[in-house]
Amino acid sequence: MRPIAERFKALSDPNRLRILMMLKTKPLCVCEISAILRLANSTVSKHLSILRQAGFIVDEKDGRWVNNRLATAQESPEAISLLPQISTWLGDENLIQSDQTKLVTIDRVTICQVD
């Protein structure tokens, strides 16, 4: 019961839904997501840990970067089974589409400099 409620709670925040939709396009690091959502890195890191705990995403360390990607159906069948539905519901939204276009041109190294 608890784990299932947890799963839905992970999906109950608009910023976390945006993150999932972005990860459908490609794996991303914390600072790329921060740049698009305009949230502090620490906030994004927390959102990612909630999504990870609920089985939606997996992190893969690559040097000092951490790539976050969607879990596969093998890794987390229950969580992943919800994604097509979510995509259908959110695909039309302006905000989601605007996130997608930002994703295409984003450059990790440029974006993530503290400056």
Partner DNA sequence: ATTCCATTTCGTTATTTAGCGAAATGTAGA
Partner DNA sequence: TCTACATTTCGCTAAATAACGAAATGGAAT
User: What are the b/e assignments for 29-49, b being 16+ CB within 10 Å?
Assistant: bbbbbbbbbebeeeebbebbe
Residue 18 in contact with DNA, rule: CB under 7 A: no
Name the DSSP class of 71.
P
Residue 2 in contact with DNA, rule: CB under 7 A: no
Identify the residue among 80, 90, 106, 112 touching a second copy (CB under 8 A).
90
- Part of the chain binding a second copy (CB under 8 A), chosen from 43-51, 64-72, 86-94, 104-112: 86-94
Which residue is listed with tokens 């600072």?
A: 31
Question: Which residues sit at the interface with DNA, rule CB under 7 A?
Answer: 9, 12-13, 15-16, 29-32, 38-43, 45-50, 59, 61, 63-66, 109, 112-114
